[in-house]
């Protein structure tokens, strides 16, 4: 009997070690899929979007995390970016390899939708709000797909009625993809890019474009041409500083390769200030500036967060979202985050294959 009890205890302990044990103030899943985008709204609620049950999905919650509206597009695909005000929602994403743009009323009624096909695959679209009230959508392939296809970037500027103002297909080399975009006070656009040429490893770069879609500069961030890299997030601090993060391959014992996260600081003129590698077996997938002036990096696996000194990249601390979580075997993946009015982290991603949102209180 004692032996049976001992075996049962061991099995329980082993089972517990394989599960992510969360330490969140609030968390919830919303169907099979993943949350790709999240922002705090002016009324202290949040808006999030992604994919749920193979369809583009948007969700808005109030400050108590009670659902106000949710909407699902009647096509296969994903929403990867969104915008919201008191008049309604604009979402951007992809469907069947094409760019998808939609507008809904404040109650979730569809007002218009647009689909654009540039002739190369669109897996995601980033949405930027211009100072004149118009929008820019930037669609591209995903850096997580095959690199042996001809790809490009699709830029479209449009107004809130869906009227297209300008459109440009940008191609440069065999493969180029943008996973994230940021805009500054002068409507300059910063893109986290991944490039690849034939017989070469993929490279991480960051580029600056103006609002007319003209490239002003581009900086390569990869250090070793023998190993691949991808840029996954970009942010600007409003004062000319640009930060870009992603993943880079590094060799490990036994000859295999491992993905490590990186973050780099770039000047407004496109020169590298510093570059750091905060986490092993991970990817830097989101960047914010907190109220203390620190750069905050979200890593995909296990939602690990790094605090970084913007002046030199020095380590300012590390926050684990789960008490128990192994980046090598986890099913907890963070894709975006924001900081609310209480300075708590609002996180979006997937957990166990489900669309997942969470709040992490920071004390």
Supply the pLDDT for residue 145: 60
Q: How far apart are CA 316 and CA 172, in angstroms?
A: 38
Residue 20 has pLDDT above 70, yes or no: no
Supply the pLDDT for residue 238: 86
Mean pLDDT score of the chain, rounded to an integer? 91
Establish how many alpha carbons lie within 13 A of residue 152's alpha carbon, considering only the half-sphere containing its beta carbon: 12
Contact in structure between 316 and 308 (CB atoms under 8 Å): yes
Confidence of residue 199 (pLDDT cuts 50, 70, 90): confident
Residue 10 has pLDDT above 80, yes or no: no
Confidence of residue 169 (pLDDT cuts 50, 70, 90): very high
Residue 13 has pLDDT above 90, yes or no: no
Q: What percent of the chain has pLDDT over 90?
A: 81
Same fold, 24-164+331-338+348-363 and 172-330: no
Under DSSP, the state recorded for 267 is: -
Cα-flanking dihedrals φ and ψ of residue 308, to 5°?
-135, 135
Q: How far apart are CA 35 and CA 80, in angstroms?
A: 8
Supply the pLDDT for residue 225: 83
Tell me which of 3.10.450.30, 2.40.128.630, 1.10.3720.10, 3.30.70.1090 is the CATH number of domain 172-330: 2.40.128.630
Contact in structure between 346 and 356 (CB atoms under 8 Å): no
Higher-pLDDT residue of 139, 145: 139
Supply the pLDDT for residue 345: 97
Higher-pLDDT residue of 307, 20: 307
Per the rule left: phi > 0, alpha: psi between -120 and 50, beta: everything else, 65 is: left
Confidence of residue 198 (pLDDT cuts 50, 70, 90): confident
Mean pLDDT, rounded, for 50-78: 96
Supply the pLDDT for residue 306: 98
**Domain 24-164+331-338+348-363: top CATH class:** mainly beta
Confidence of residue 4 (pLDDT cuts 50, 70, 90): very low
- Give me the residue spans of the domains in the chain: 24-164+331-338+348-363, 172-330
Residue 21 has pLDDT above 70, yes or no: no
Contact in structure between 234 and 192 (CB atoms under 8 Å): yes
Contact in structure between 111 and 88 (CB atoms under 8 Å): yes
Q: How far apart are CA 362 and CA 345, in angstroms?
A: 7
What is the three-class DSSP state of 42?
A: coil
């Amino acid at each position: 009997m004692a032996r049976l009890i001992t075996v049962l205890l061991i099995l329980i302990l082993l089972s517990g070690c394989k599960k992510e044990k969360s330490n969140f103030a609030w968390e919830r899943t919303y169907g099979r899929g993943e949350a790709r985008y999240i922002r705090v709204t002016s009324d202290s609620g949040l808006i999030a979007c992604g994919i749920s049950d193979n369809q583009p999905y948007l969700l808005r919650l109030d400050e108590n995390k009670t659902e106000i509206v949710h909407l699902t597009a009647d096509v296969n695909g994903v929403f990867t970016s969104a915008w919201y005000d008191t008049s309604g929602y604009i979402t951007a994403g992809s469907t069947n390899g094409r760019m998808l743009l939609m507008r809904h009323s404040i109650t979730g009624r569809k007002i218009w939708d647009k689909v654009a096909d540039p002739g190369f695959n669109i897996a995601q679209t980033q949405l930027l709000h211009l100072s004149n009230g118009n929008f820019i959508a930037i669609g591209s392939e995903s850096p997580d797909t095959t690199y042996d296809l001809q790809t490009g970037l699709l830029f479209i500027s449009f107004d809130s009625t869906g009227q297209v103002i300008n459109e440009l297909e940008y191609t440069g080399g065999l493969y180029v993809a943008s996973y994230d975009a940021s805009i500054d006070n002068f409507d300059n656009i910063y893109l986290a890019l991944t490039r690849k040429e034939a017989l070469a490893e993929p490279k991480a770069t960051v580029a600056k474009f103006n609002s007319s879609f003209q490239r002003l500069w581009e900086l390569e961030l990869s250090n070793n041409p023998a190993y691949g890299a991808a840029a996954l997030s970009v942010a600007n601090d409003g004062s000319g500083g640009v930060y870009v993060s992603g993943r880079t391959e590094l060799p490990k014992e036994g000859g295999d390769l491992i993905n490590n996260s990186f973050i780099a600081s770039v000047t407004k003129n496109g020169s590298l200030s510093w570059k750091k590698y905060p986490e092993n077996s991970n990817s830097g997938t989101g960047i914010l500036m907190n109220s203390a002036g620190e750069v905050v990096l979200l890593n995909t696996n296990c939602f690990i967060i790094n605090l970084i000194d913007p002046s030199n990249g020095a380590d300012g601390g590390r926050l684990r979202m789960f008490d128990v979580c192994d980046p090598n075997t986890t099913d907890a993946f963070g894709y975006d985050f924001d900081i609310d009015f209480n300075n708590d982290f609002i996180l979006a991603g997937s957990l166990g294959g489900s669309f997942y949102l969470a709040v992490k209180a920071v004390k």
